[in-house]
Structure 1
Amino acid sequence: MVALYAATGFFILPPLIKTRLIEKLSAYTGRKVELGELRLNPFALSTTLRKFTLHERTGGQFMSFDELYINFQTSSLFRWAYTFSIIQLTSPSSNIRIQKDGTFNFHDLLPPAREKSETQQNAPVPLLIQHLVVNRAQMVFEDITRPTPYKQQIAALSFSLKNFTTRPNREGLYEFEAATEEGATLKYRGNLSMAPMYSKGSLELTGIKLRKLWSYLQDQLNFEIAGGELDISGTYEFNITEGLTDLRLQDSSVNVRSLSVLSKEDGEEAITLPHLSFSGTELDYQKREMKIALIQSDSAKIRGKFDKDGKFSLHKMFQPKTTDSSQEMHPKNQSKSGEWQISINKIEIADYALHMKDQTTVPITQLDLSPVNLKIENVKIGSPGTAHIELQVGLNQTGTMKVAGKVSPEPLTADLDVQISKIALPPFDPYVKKHTQLEISDGSLSLNGHLNFSRPGAEQQVDFEGDIRIESARVLDSVLSEDFVRWKRLDLRQVKYDNNPASLSIQEIIARGLYTRIIIGPDRTANVQHILVRDKKPLTETKGQQANDNQLPIRIGQVSIIDSSMNFTDLSLKPNFTSAIQNLNGTVKGLSSEQLARADIDLKGQVDKYAPVVIQGKINPLSEQAYTDITMNFHGIELTTFSPYSGKFAGYKIEKGKLSFELQYKLSQKILIGENHIVLDQFTLGEKVESPDATNLPVRLAIAILKDSHGVIDLNIPVRGDLNDPQFRLAPVIIKAFVNLIAKAATSPFKMLGALVGGEGEELDFVLFTPGSNALSQEQQSKLAKIAKALEERPQLILNLRGTAAESVDRYALAERAILTRIRTQRNIPIESPLAEDEQKRLLKLYREMFRKEDPYDLIPPTDTTGTKIPKDVRRAAVVDAARKKLIEKYPISESDLRTLAQERAEVIKDYMVQQGGLAAPRIFLLEVDTKASATDHEVKMPLALDAR
């Protein structure tokens, strides 16, 4: 019996079972099955299968192994369970593939749903494996449904398992290790129950290659993992009861080592992470709770950039590619009960480096944040809680920023102390260039303040209080490559900002060593005109936006100016013009955007070191309806400073002189009222300068007219204007008024002179004479007296007299005067007096002498037109009158007579100005006479002319 048992077991049954096994498996799976050898040991109750292969339906290999050794135990009869002392599988291999239709290549091996349900109704026989050994297992996983087909091979995996059972409420203690050729290892120790499903133990996975995990998900990700390893360890407890899954983790940790993340867009390395660990992790799946004792990382390098459209590269990298299936798996509206509550005891990040590029600016902005050290304690996510944060960041190796305080995520609130120490400003220059034509070449920012932030709902609340300091700042005009503003130190003390309601207050602004410069370039454009980059938006859109924007209420307690200066340079002139206000000190108190607020301004300085400047008054530049009541006094400015301007526009350099002026301006309700009191002392022009822009006006004369006897020009130029008028500009109005004053003095000197002495200016530029006479009337003498008075106060003026005679009226008057001289014996009788009888006789005698062949009585017939005889006395009077007229018409008056009359008239005026007006004779010049003058209203006009010495 023993021999028969042995023969049957060793020799008869193996080939029978082998054949039957192949047939059954082939029929059940519908696939080709190969089995190289089957051995039985009837005494040990063991079976050995060698060279087994299960093929695909298409012919490829699906599963195989070199050897399967099974040792069955007779104790199964007593245990009421299939009991095996050992099951050992050597070199198992499988090919798992997800096919194009989304099914696995083994889906047809599973029993149909109906058959499966019937099987489940029968209670399964328990299974007990005392020792399960797998040696050199390998598996190939392939997924051809993905856009990038995925194929991964796990090779040389070995592990052992002891006391595995499926008996209800029985736990087995298991411990095994597994390793792969790539260095990944699996260590497990714990117990496992199959009915119900329960397990508790410790698990350790080390050396997991992150690139292999990434390669399967690469089509859903915008980044590439080039390298890195993952370690996972911890204890767990897993239980499935009545369809409910419960998972708990304790004392678990996750470590990421040597992680390298690349951007798919440009292939550049975005993240280099030497170390990241999660330790002391606890998880309760039922309660949706996770606790992490410590998250720690150091020495990471993160590189990011904003593209030209303003999109951040890291955001794009880690933004998942959405698909319909992913949206179904992660619905937007999740119930509150399904949210996790995460608690993190401490987060420590050390020696991080963030390298950021901003391509929205020209040139590209490079910001290097290094080192970045961060500590956060007591972080709560999904539940109320307040975390404490400490952040320290270095910026571009120049300064540091420290943030410390409390942060709560739900609702989001922050209560932070912020300190910034000497952060260099030049790296932020490209952002300034986006909106201005300025360049920050130097300067550092420091800040010490407190920030509160909260967002309880849709609106957010922000308030800040602190001090700001900017040191050694220098801002250039990039168009002219010259300084625009700089200062040694600018302090903003007790800055308070609140956004709800919006308000900004500053207790004091202190500017030390402030220097500003206004430059007119070679193209005659001031730097302040091109500082701001023009907005490309339509004007209507810009106006609409401005109208909708609410004005921010601003309060500034005091602005202090210490040891500051202002400079003005005109590069359009050759030589260049430069002037400066130095040693500027003072305050502006009470600045506010409130409508009725008034700030007191009190500034003092010197122009070019020695000319004092005082600016005082009240202003309100921050309110919507600006208010100004200000006085600016400048005293004793050297006029030679302005020589480039006088050479260009007047054609003369300035020899000497000082300028003082007082400006008083009042602005209210957009109406500007200004008084400009300008005093030029000893203003003297120098040598002539050739300039194509020089005026043709007699500038020297204008200056001489405006100067008084002490060499002072004292002018008052009022200004009126409505700022609502887009054509109104203050500076052009003042300049135009001054230029018009000079032009008036040069072109209408007597009008200006008359205005200066309080006379009728339009009557002082000429003297009227009766035809044929050189006598001055009382009215003309009064006029000359006013001119003499004005000239006495303006010693640089000289009077030019050009005697005039009008042939049309003076010749007749001279002829009449000559005739009356010959017929009258008395010299003081007026010309218009009637002729006496003896004078009539002499007149008729003179007529006969001049017209030898004519009888004067032939001029008047003895009868009138009706033939009536004219009375003798009437005819005689008519004859005398006709003879007189003909004598005057024919009496010879030479050019010399007219010249003599013209000279006499000039000399009469000169005599009056010297003898009656007290004017020095050397200041009066007689010019060549003019005998071709015209007469007006039977009067001869002799023009007067002024000139400057």
Structure 2
Amino acid sequence: MHSGTLHRFGSYLKNQWASPRRIRFWLLVLVVLYTLFGFFALPWIIQYVAVDTAKEDFDRELRIESVQTNPYTLTLQINGLELDDVDERQLLGWERLFVDLTWASITNTAWSFETIQLDKPTIQEERFVSGETRFSRLAAENAGTESKESESTQLPAIQIHTLIIEGGVLHFTDNLKNENKPKHVSLALQAVGLSVKDFTLQKDASFPVRLDARFKKGGQLNFDGQLQVLPTFALEGSTSIKELALMQAEPYLQQFIGVRLDSGTLTLNGQIQADAQQPFSLQGSAGINSLSVREGTKDEPLIGWQSLETQQLDLSLKDKRIEATPIIIEDLSGRVVINDDKTTNFGQLVTQSPKATDATESKDADPFSITIEAIELADSNLHFTDNSLPLPFSTRIHALNGEVSTLSSQSAEPARVKLEGKVAEYGSARVDGSVHAWHPTRQTNINLSFRNLQIPEYSPYTVNFAGRKIAGGTMDLDLDYSVDESQLDGKNNLLLHDLKLGEKMASSDAMDLPLDLAIALLQDSDGVIDLTLPVSGDVGNPQFDFGKVTQQAVSNAITSVVTAPFSFLANLVGAGSEELGRVEFLPGRSDLSPPQRQRISRLREALKQRSQLVLELAGPFNKGFDSPPLKQNKAKEALQQKLAEQARGIANSSLTSEANQDIVEAMFTTHYPETELETVKARFREQQSEATHETDFDALAYRNHLAEKVIEAQTITDSELKAIANARAEAVRDALVNADADAAIAADRVRILEPKEVDSPDAERVAMEVGVSAE
């Protein structure tokens, strides 16, 4: 019975279920179920699981427009995906994701894809002030959901024949730290296109990659090369950046320097490499065009150029090396200002310095080796203003051309500098010398030569120097500076042509110097002032002030001239130490002795070379020195008058002459009425002998005594003393203006002042100190 039942059941299966008709039926059922699941159930499951996982595990909302699968072609398409962040800001999304899984994945040991294509993906990343980003926050949450086992799981084997991304957009928002509130910076890559061929995660396998993208604010990025993922990341290929707008980097630049980028584009072409041994290297060409940088606060031009380029740039992070062929800069324009407090417009731009995260590591780190073959300037211009120099200038140098030779941070050899340009319409400028770019205080020798510079009528530094406006003139300036181990040894030579001072200006810092006189003394007959100013000091000393050093040099030069003007004039005519400003006279006389005439002749020669000088003559007198000869002359004049009254000849008008004794006796009696002549005569009688009782009368001694007493009785008034003083001044003036036509100076250049009573240190001469002033 039991065996019969089994027989009947087997016959039933054979006839009912194992028949070809039944097998076809069940195959059809499986196909239908597979089709229904693949076309309808699977898309729903994928969409449900994705949305639910985003919500449950990440607390984020995921929206999917539709999911399409094809179980026969093994394709997947996800349309209209959008993932929001916790603040409902979109994090990522795409228009369409198409995945074509090959049937070979069933038999192979790797997931094999014929094509993966992503259309118009959008990624919106943001970095917050804390340093956290949207994706780093998402990754941190994802890490919390993973088990330790999943962390140790190896990556699946994947093969992708073609991976394509088209029309991608990458938005990046950066919240920079600011004093008051975060500053938002927005950067974007558009039209991102990525093409990868034969992608695989096999070790040591590389595959071709091509990337194209466009920066929203200007610029194109391209890369074509090879990529390796395992066992380490490696990238190699050619890249190019075309006309990248540098304005996009302005917010980051402003964190360290107060500037504004008006324009500028970066172009870069070359081969790049990055792997385990070489973090990054680049070999190619680079250039920055149409750069314009302004000062952030003053909104004034700072620096810019039409083009800057180098044909070969070699950068290696592994070797810490940067090398470049000559950098050619065309149409450079810059504005350099040295303020009156010795700061510069460039130095004031720095807002803060980047801080190393590890001070010790930063200190011990090897510096980059930088070598630039040369820097060439073409058709450039520079506006230079120095408000710190005591006799400075502000000028614009244009048509500036020249070069700086090889600069190397690894060599002790300084770079050679040779530049030449024009200043204003008719001026010129030249720079020659050498400088160690990385250690300028160690070794620098620079000569700056300016020719035919128009001295400005007014600027703050001319007021600080002179307290005067500059009414006119031109300047030639040679600045020679040599710095050796921080020790400055320089010499500045100034040639001022036709310098004219204007009205006085109020300035607390003005140097207290008689500049009108200084100019008149220093300016030669051609209107040229030649000043040589030594400058020295330790530029490494924080107390070193270049402006004060130079100002002191100018002050010393001018002071030495105005305090000893006649020594300066004597040197002009080779008179050595002769005192050209001192004219000496004999007592009571106004005539010039031959030595004094020679002195005046040399003074006249010096004045011919200094046409703006005016002499001031104050005739000297000294009562005790001049009165005796004046009294003698006055007594003699009185005798002559009496001789004339008596019709006696005045040819012999000696006070001691025997012929004039009676008149001199009368004059004596007039001045000394109480003295008897006989009493006076008795003083000059001598007894010859006791025997004879006869006496001799010394008539000559008697007459000399009368003359002395008559002279002594004369009265010299102050007006008479001043008259002789004026006569002395007039004698000097005549010697200056009444010389030969070729040697004489103009009469209006000699001024006679009020007579001056002076001391007479010796009994032989009285001296007139000549004064000098500017015309």
Contact kept in structure 1, 2:613 and 2:749, CA below 8 Å: no
Correspondence 1:259 to 2:81: yes
Contact kept in structure 1, 2:538 and 2:544, CA below 8 Å: yes
**Distance of aligned partners of 1:921 and 1:260 in 2 relative to their CA distance in 1, 3 Å threshold:** closer
Instruction: Give, as a single letter, the amino acid of the residue that structure 1 aligns with 2:57.
Output: L
Corresponding residue number in structure 1 for 2:125: 304
Once the two structures are superposed, the pairs formed by residues 623-772 of structure 1 within 5 Å of their partners are: 623=439, 626-639=442-455, 650=466, 654=470, 656-685=472-501, 688=503, 697-730=513-546, 732-742=548-558, 744-746=560-562, 749-754=565-570, 756-757=572-573, 763-767=579-583
Instruction: Give, as a single letter, the amino acid of the residue that structure 2 aligns with 1:383.
Output: K
**Distance of aligned partners of 1:821 and 1:489 in 2 relative to their CA distance in 1, 3 Å threshold:** same
Give 1:735 shift.
Answer: 4.6
Corresponding residue number in structure 1 for 2:720: 897
Correspondence 1:176 to 2:33: yes
**Distance of aligned partners of 1:282 and 1:705 in 2 relative to their CA distance in 1, 3 Å threshold:** farther
Correspondence 1:554 to 2:370: yes
Contact kept in structure 1, 2:493 and 2:533, CA below 8 Å: yes
Structure label with greater radius of gyration: 1
CA distance in 1 between partners of 2:423 and 2:7 (Å):
114
Instruction: Give, as a single letter, the amino acid of the residue that structure 1 aligns with 2:721.
Output: L
CA offsets, 1:731-761, max 9 Å, x none? 5543543355445545654454455556667
Query: Is the helix fraction higher in 1 or 2?
Result: 2
Once the two structures are superposed, the pairs formed by residues 908-947 of structure 1 within 5 Å of their partners are: 908-914=731-737, 918-934=743-759, 942-947=768-773
CA distance in 1 between partners of 2:102 and 2:704 (Å):
142
Once the two structures are superposed, the pairs formed by residues 499-898 of structure 1 within 5 Å of their partners are: 499-519=317-337, 526-535=344-353, 548=364, 550-568=366-384, 579-623=395-439, 626-639=442-455, 650=466, 654=470, 656-685=472-501, 688=503, 697-730=513-546, 732-742=548-558, 744-746=560-562, 749-754=565-570, 756-757=572-573, 763-767=579-583, 774=590, 784-805=600-621, 810-818=622-630, 892-898=715-721
Instruction: Give, as a single letter, the amino acid of the residue that structure 1 aligns with 2:623.
Output: R
TM-score of the superposition, structure 1-length normalised?
A: 0.64
**Distance of aligned partners of 1:205 and 1:545 in 2 relative to their CA distance in 1, 3 Å threshold:** closer
Instruction: Give, as a single letter, the amino acid of the residue that structure 2 aligns with 1:393.
Output: A
Instruction: Give, as a single letter, the amino acid of the residue that structure 2 aligns with 1:722.
Output: D
Give 1:426 shift.
Answer: 1.6
Once the two structures are superposed, the pairs formed by residues 406-417 of structure 1 within 5 Å of their partners are: 406-409=226-229, 410-417=231-238
Corresponding residue number in structure 1 for 2:243: 422
Alignment gaps of 5+ in structure 1: 1-73, 80-84, 87-130, 132-160, 164-171, 188-202, 236-250, 828-834, 859-879
**Distance of aligned partners of 1:903 and 1:438 in 2 relative to their CA distance in 1, 3 Å threshold:** same
CA distance in 2 between partners of 1:263 and 1:889 (Å):
123
Correspondence 1:356 to 2:172: yes
Contact kept in structure 2, 1:463 and 1:498, CA below 8 Å: yes
1:213 to 41, 53, 60: 53
Correspondence 1:471 to 2:289: yes
Give 1:175 shift.
Answer: 6.9
Once the two structures are superposed, the pairs formed by residues 272-311 of structure 1 within 5 Å of their partners are: 272-280=93-101, 289-311=110-132
Contact kept in structure 1, 2:192 and 2:212, CA below 8 Å: yes
CA distance in 2 between partners of 1:776 and 1:883 (Å):
32
Instruction: Give, as a single letter, the amino acid of the residue that structure 2 aligns with 1:581.
Output: I
Corresponding residue number in structure 2 for 1:906: 729
**Distance of aligned partners of 1:341 and 1:881 in 2 relative to their CA distance in 1, 3 Å threshold:** farther
Matched residue of 1:411: which SS?
coil
Matched residue of 2:374: which SS?
strand
1:186 to 31, 41, 55: 41
How many residues are treated as equivalent by the alignment? Answer: 707
Matched residue of 1:318: which SS?
helix
**Distance of aligned partners of 1:585 and 1:926 in 2 relative to their CA distance in 1, 3 Å threshold:** closer
Correspondence 1:483 to 2:301: yes
Contact kept in structure 1, 2:441 and 2:539, CA below 8 Å: no
Corresponding residue number in structure 2 for 1:225: 62
Corresponding residue number in structure 1 for 2:92: 271
**Distance of aligned partners of 1:902 and 1:552 in 2 relative to their CA distance in 1, 3 Å threshold:** farther
**Distance of aligned partners of 1:186 and 1:402 in 2 relative to their CA distance in 1, 3 Å threshold:** same
Contact kept in structure 1, 2:497 and 2:527, CA below 8 Å: yes
Give 1:580 shift.
Answer: 1.5
CA distance in 2 between partners of 1:729 and 1:549 (Å):
33
Instruction: Give, as a single letter, the amino acid of the residue that structure 2 aligns with 1:186.
Output: A
Matched residue of 1:383: which SS?
coil
Contact kept in structure 1, 2:420 and 2:431, CA below 8 Å: yes
Give 1:366 shift.
Answer: 1.5
**Distance of aligned partners of 1:696 and 1:344 in 2 relative to their CA distance in 1, 3 Å threshold:** same
Correspondence 1:375 to 2:195: yes
Instruction: Give, as a single letter, the amino acid of the residue that structure 2 aligns with 1:787.
Output: L
Contact kept in structure 1, 2:631 and 2:712, CA below 8 Å: no
CA offsets, 1:300-345, max 9 Å, x none? 221122222333222223322655x8564456xx49xx55444443
CA distance in 2 between partners of 1:179 and 1:636 (Å):
95
CA offsets, 1:700-749, max 9 Å, x none? 33222111122222222232333222233445543543355445545654
Contact kept in structure 1, 2:197 and 2:208, CA below 8 Å: yes
CA distance in 2 between partners of 1:932 and 1:534 (Å):
69
CA distance in 1 between partners of 2:362 and 2:604 (Å):
62
Contact kept in structure 2, 1:205 and 1:233, CA below 8 Å: no
Give 1:587 shift.
Answer: 2.4
**Distance of aligned partners of 1:284 and 1:921 in 2 relative to their CA distance in 1, 3 Å threshold:** closer
Give 1:536 shift.
Answer: 8.8
Query: Is the strand fraction higher in 1 or 2?
Result: 1
Which has the higher relative contact order, 1 or 2, with Cα contacts under 8 A spaced 6 or more apart?
Answer: 2
CA distance in 1 between partners of 2:668 and 2:352 (Å):
92
CA distance in 1 between partners of 2:7 and 2:554 (Å):
123
**Distance of aligned partners of 1:453 and 1:759 in 2 relative to their CA distance in 1, 3 Å threshold:** farther
Matched residue of 2:205: which SS?
coil
CA offsets, 1:194-245, max 9 Å, x none? xxxxxxxxx9955435222223313xx6x4424466667769xxxxxxxxxx
Contact kept in structure 2, 1:772 and 1:811, CA below 8 Å: no
Corresponding residue number in structure 2 for 1:136: none
CA offsets, 1:864-894, max 9 Å, x none? xxxxxxxxxxxxxxxx999999999997442
CA distance in 1 between partners of 2:104 and 2:575 (Å):
105
Matched residue of 1:533: which SS?
coil
Alignment gaps of 5+ in structure 2: 11-15, 640-654, 681-702
Matched residue of 1:319: which SS?
helix
Corresponding residue number in structure 1 for 2:219: 399
Give 1:613 shift.
Answer: 2.8
Matched residue of 1:728: which SS?
coil
Of 676-685 and 284-293, deviating more is: 284-293
Contact kept in structure 1, 2:398 and 2:422, CA below 8 Å: yes
CA distance in 2 between partners of 1:477 and 1:405 (Å):
41
**Distance of aligned partners of 1:769 and 1:436 in 2 relative to their CA distance in 1, 3 Å threshold:** farther
Of 812-821 and 479-488, deviating more is: 812-821
Give 1:274 shift.
Answer: 2.4
Contact kept in structure 2, 1:815 and 1:889, CA below 8 Å: no
Instruction: Give, as a single letter, the amino acid of the residue that structure 1 aligns with 2:309.
Output: D
Give 1:766 shift.
Answer: 4.4
Corresponding residue number in structure 2 for 1:140: none
Give 1:509 shift.
Answer: 1.1
Matched residue of 1:497: which SS?
strand
Give 1:673 shift.
Answer: 3.0
Correspondence 1:444 to 2:265: yes
CA distance in 1 between partners of 2:366 and 2:199 (Å):
38
**Distance of aligned partners of 1:555 and 1:754 in 2 relative to their CA distance in 1, 3 Å threshold:** farther
